[in-house]
Chains A and B, each alone.
Chain A
């Protein structure tokens, strides 16, 4: 079956957007609880290598996804123990998590460099997947793509409409008051951090199982940091993260096509800079002036909580 190049490009945008979407959605929940985890890149990498090793070892993509989520959560637990129990600096501990994740994933992954792997299966919906245009565009993706998209309304509902989400936001906005009312601040933050770790792990798994089904050292190439930027860009709103992730996916694919199609006579490295420069530009546009946006930021973001009584 031959596909229209435009449709093909749109499909690849979905692929580039999905890891960002998954990781950023998780981080948004973490930050809403008042915790800044800068270790997204490290958690994604460990998730990616755990998924890849499990897929190669067992041949089961279900187990691979499970392993990625658990590995991400284990990394997050380490971060939680440091920042929530031992009250270390969240910024420094997040950096440490990334440095550790880069090293650990390289160590675990070293036997797997160059190992081929079959791509994560695309789900076929009988009838719908064979439709022209709509079929390949909407009904021929893998489970992680749909999972990421489904999590957008779920997390939006959780944060804005559910009681648990209200408590989580209260903890993030004023941990002293939340503690005084009797909410278990530390336990809630642990749960948020673990959820963020699972989502980052799955985001990493998408890279090693689907986007480029192989293991390469540091294959996230800064996507964990772009996900962090997306959360700010989206003002902590899931729908904003969805839009942002697909915009960045678009920029990534655009530069890849420009390189491949040789549309412009320019060294490929300059085009590869685009997603990073776009992140800086977007952050600048979003950070300046917009007071409304700052109101969205959890007031206790990054502040450690030590109950005095």
Chain B
């Protein structure tokens, strides 16, 4: 009989091995899935995981897709550590795009070098504002933040749709539901010629650095960890739960807002009804896969970006439905959560010593 025996302290080796193990299991599951769907599994896996990275452009695209995932994942991981379940990052991303993008549309003939920084600030404000609603409801009225932040995602998507179908529609756009193109001064500069790699990638790296600093070097970061790991101890120490909710919601919302802005001011270049293929939700997986650590999130973001890129590539190469990407991402999160078991528990075979004694 197989039993789970709690470890007296988390296994250091499995802390690092568990995510790798989960990825390996996901690839194995992909092999089976592709074979079941009638595709050559080896060829399909190659097109999914290897060939997208065989060119300079491909690697740049990987970074382009990882940028929003890392920005959001870093913020969410701090919240998840503190036990704050902000799952509405997709909505906060949308509000960031609306706020920052709105500024670009309003100042569409601006040539000021201050426009882009102002848009980033507006994007962060928009995301933080949207996250402030569940934070307020949670701290003031004890409303579950999971449900409110998620409901607000639907509201945000509808708001963006209303704006680009209505008042913000490009007057010269032949009635398409699109805003006018952002001016050059309101567009993310390209970092690598001939690719779409833009300044947002640097913002993501900065976010990782700042989050790492907050978590490991500041009292606030210490409080986040204590509140999440030992809520009772945190209460005795006088750490305010409400303050943690506000801090992690505003930070997570702000970073998601910047992610949204960097999408519309980067690869998209205008406001359109759909600005994200679910980055806000995928970032939840990124946060867990990265073991809620900023550096881990960076690697996990790149890996999840590969799942988007690989999905598109495999569709072109062998006609695999892109919906496979979603299945892959879901499976990966399952395996990550299950593999986490190995950090906290030891698997023992045979009946328990107590049972033998009895």
Q: Which of A89, A91, A103, A221 touches B154 (beta carbons < 8 Å)?
A: A221
Q: Which of B4, B158, B326, B331 touches A269 (beta carbons < 8 Å)?
A: B158
Does A91 contact B146, Cβ atoms closer than 8 Å? yes
Closest Cβ of chain A to B130, distance in Å, is 12
In the docked arrangement, what's the CA distance between A280 and B150, Å?
Answer: 10
In the docked arrangement, what's the CA distance between A104 and B328, Å?
Answer: 9
Does B327 contact A107, Cβ atoms closer than 8 Å? yes
In the docked arrangement, what's the CA distance between A262 and B338, Å?
Answer: 51
Closest Cβ of chain A to B7, distance in Å, is 12
In the docked arrangement, what's the CA distance between A102 and B327, Å?
Answer: 8
Does B144 contact A287, Cβ atoms closer than 8 Å? yes
Most A CB within 10 A of own CB, among B142, B146, B151, B152: B151
Give per-residue flags for B284-324: 1 if the beta carbon is below 8 A from chain A beta carbons, else 0: 11001000000000000000000000000000000001011
* Stretch of B161-169, B183-191, B211-219, B249-257 that contacts chain A: B161-169
Does A272 contact B158, Cβ atoms closer than 8 Å? yes
Does B333 contact A225, Cβ atoms closer than 8 Å? no
Does A225 contact B6, Cβ atoms closer than 8 Å? no
Which residues of chain A are within 8 angstroms of B144 by Cβ–Cβ distance? 232, 283, 287
In the docked arrangement, what's the CA distance between A204 and B252, Å?
Answer: 32
Does A88 contact B165, Cβ atoms closer than 8 Å? no
B354 at the interface (CB under 8 A from A): yes
In the docked arrangement, what's the CA distance between A273 and B157, Å?
Answer: 9
A102 nearest CB neighbor, chain B only: B326
- Interface pairs (28), CB distance under 8 Å: A38-B146, A82-B337, A86-B341, A92-B337, A95-B87, A96-B333, A99-B281, A99-B282, A99-B326, A99-B329, A101-B330, A102-B330, A103-B324, A103-B325, A103-B327, A106-B321, A107-B327, A217-B323, A225-B151, A228-B147, A269-B158, A270-B158, A273-B158, A277-B151, A277-B155, A284-B141, A284-B148, A287-B143
A contact residues vs B (CB 8 Å cutoff): 38, 78, 82, 86-89, 91-93, 95-97, 99-104, 106-107, 110, 217, 221-222, 225-226, 228-229, 232, 267, 269-270, 272-273, 276-277, 279-280, 283-284, 287-288, 306, 309
B contact residues vs A (CB 8 Å cutoff): 4, 6, 85, 87, 133, 137, 140-144, 146-148, 150-152, 154-155, 158-159, 161-162, 165-166, 281-282, 284-285, 288, 321, 323-331, 333-334, 337-338, 340-341, 345, 354
